[in-house]
Every structure is written in structure tokens, then in C-alpha cells.
Amino acid sequence: MSSALVVAMVTVGGGLALAVGGWLARVGRRTERLSEILDLPYGEWDVPVEDVTETRSAIVESSIGLASRVVNQFDTKGSLRRSLERARIPMRPGELVVVTACGAVTGGALLLGITQSPILAAMGVLLAPLAASSVIRGRIARRRRAFEDQLPDALGLIASSLSAGHTFLRAIQMMCEESEPPLAEEFRRVVSETQLGDPLVDALDRMAARLEIRDMDWVVQAIRIQQTVGGKLADLLHTLADFIRAREEVRREVKVLTAEGRISAWILTALAPLLLVAVQVLSPEYMKPMFQGWGLVVLAGTALMVLGGSAIIFRMTKIEV
């Protein structure tokens, strides 16, 4: 493969990557702008039309529409939409599919330009959906961990407000003013739902189902029981905060004890593909027999064994507390 063709592939791939990155940055800025506008009182200032409308080219609009129809056909339960909502990614499922496709083309072009191997380029294209899924799961896990860390202190603030004579809803509003995201974001949504006429406990129950956090499930169940049988809610919330804080200490200790196993799993998983790419770049002729005949079977079997071993290690280091 000529040097000019390699440079052209890398340039095209880099251009696509920059275009996708710029589009994502524009979506993020537009979301922040809308949040600022919605937080202002009505009539504070005139809202520019371009801040609340989307303008796309016909090609982009048709691509997103086609991707949305495909997603709706295969994802009838809306799991992808819920995952994006839980990860707080300001994108629709169709937009995510288009961005992932652009990333796959970019990754394939870069790998083809670097390794000069169509097989590795095809593998890069196939790995793009896995990378997008990993990003979404990672954001969800980070928001969940941050929420779990903030929850005991938030319950303590709510309990203190209740002891001072405030109502439960007003205590949650005051807690949102003192807390940081993601806890403040989720509880503000609860407050907004109650302002639209929804019962407070039902809104909390939906938040717990959306976050899939066991501690929050227990909090909601405890509040339901307290409203049924009566009692002092402030003392109950203080007890729950102490209990959740103790569980968090145990969870952190388990995470420290299993850190070596998790790092080993990541290193062993990444070692094989990185060595394959490195050898292909340094000596393409050396790896040529592996990309034909029984060599492909050996590579497929090796990939399955690496994935299987990594799954076993991750499962061994995942301890529920």
C-alpha cells in the first residue's frame, strides 16, 4: 500500500473524528444553553429561536431518521433510550447510532492506514458498538457510584430539615440547593414531578427504579412503611443514613481488596490485541500467515479464550455488598 494512500486514509479518518467530536460538542453546548434558559423566570429575557430549535442538513436528518426507525424496530422496549437517560447523555438513540457508525468508519480507516490489514480494520469497525456500549455503561456506573456516595449525607440533611419543622418536600428542595450532581439532578426531577401533581413517594419510587440502586430502594420502602404505620421520619432517615454509610465503607474495602484482580483482567485483555497490532505494524510479513487459512481459526479461538478468561476474572472480582 502506497504512502499517499495511507496518508489519505488517516486524513479522512481524522476528519470524520473531528466532525463527530464537533457535533457532540455542539449538542452539549445546546443542552447547557437550554438548561440556563429554563432556569430563568418567565419573561426574564427573550429566548432566541436558534437556542430551542435544531437545524440539520437533509442528509444528517435522513440518516438520523433511518437509524431511529431501525432502533425502534429492534429495541421495542426502549432499553437504549433508558440507558442514555440514565447516563445523562443528551442524545437520542438514532443520533447515537449515527455517531457510532461514524466512529466505526473512522476507527476502521485509522487501523487500515496504520496496520495495512483489512481484517484488523474490520475488527476495529466491529468493536465500535462495543466501545459505545462501554462508554454508556461507564457513565451510568460513575453516576451510580457518585449518587451512592452522596446519599447518606443527603438523607442527613433531609432529616435535619424535618427536625427543624419543614415538610418532606421542602426538605428535599433545600437538600437539592446544598447538594451537587448527580444527586441534586435526580431529586430536582422528583420535585418537578410532584409539582405536576404526582405523589412524592411514587416519584421517589420511579427515581429508584431508574437508578437501580439498592440503597435507594430501601429508602423508598422505609418511607412507604413510615407513612402507613406512622412514626418519626427524621429518626428513620438518620438510621438509614448510618446504615448506608456503613455499607459504603464495606463496599470500598471490598473494592480495594479486588483492585489487583481487576487490573490484571484489564491488562491481560488488552495485551493480546495490542501485541497483534504492534507486530502487524512493525513486521507485516511476519503476521501474514495468521490472516489466511487456519490462522484465522487460531485467531478466533485465541480471542474467545481471552474474552472467556477475562469474563471469569471480572466475575470473580465482582462481589455484591
Count, residues in the chain: 321
Q: Does domain 144-257 have CATH number 1.20.81.30?
A: yes
DSSP string of 233-296, one letter each residue: HHHHHHHHHHHHHHHHHHHHHHHHHTHHHHHHHHHHHHHHHHHHHHHHHH-HHHHGGGGSTHHH
What CA–CA distances, in Å, run from 245 to 17, 64, 150, 210? 43, 44, 10, 22
pLDDT tens digits, 103-116: 888 878 877 877 77
pLDDT at 57: 54
**What is the model's pLDDT at position 318?**
81
As a whole-number percent, the residues of the chain with pLDDT over 70 amount to 80
* pLDDT at position 129: 84
150-182: per-residue pLDDT in tens? 899 889 899 888 888 888 888 888 888 888 888
Looking at residue 44, its pLDDT comes to: 47
Interior/surface letters 282-309, b for 16+ CB within 10 angstroms, e for the rest: eeeeebeebeeeeeeeebeeeeeebeee
pTM of the model: 0.73
Q: Is the peptide bond before 182 cis (omega within 30 degrees of 0)?
A: yes
Along the chain (321 residues), what's the average pLDDT of each consecutive run of 10 residues? Answer: 56 60 60 59 50 54 72 78 83 81 81 78 82 87 88 90 87 87 88 87 87 86 85 86 88 88 87 85 81 83 87 84 69
Beta-carbon contacts of residue 65 (< 8 Å; ≥ 6 apart): 94
Phi then psi for residue 186, to 5 deg, are -70, -40
**CA pair distance 123, 144, nearest whole angstrom:** 31
Give 40-76 pLDDT, tens digit per residue. 554 444 555 455 455 555 566 667 777 777 777 777 7
**Residue 51 contacts residue 34 (beta carbons within 8 Å):** yes
Domain ranges of the chain: 1-116, 144-257, 258-321
Question: 223 Cβ partners below 8 Å, 6+ apart?
Answer: 201, 204, 233, 236
Judged by phi (left if over 0) then psi (alpha if -120 to 50, else beta), residue 2 lies in beta
What local confidence, expressed as pLDDT, does residue 103 receive? 80
From residue 174, alpha-carbon distances to 178, 179, 205, 227, 241 in Å are 7, 9, 20, 21, 17
In this structure, is the dihedral angle defined by the CA atoms of residues 185, 195, 159 and 175, taken in order, positive or negative? positive
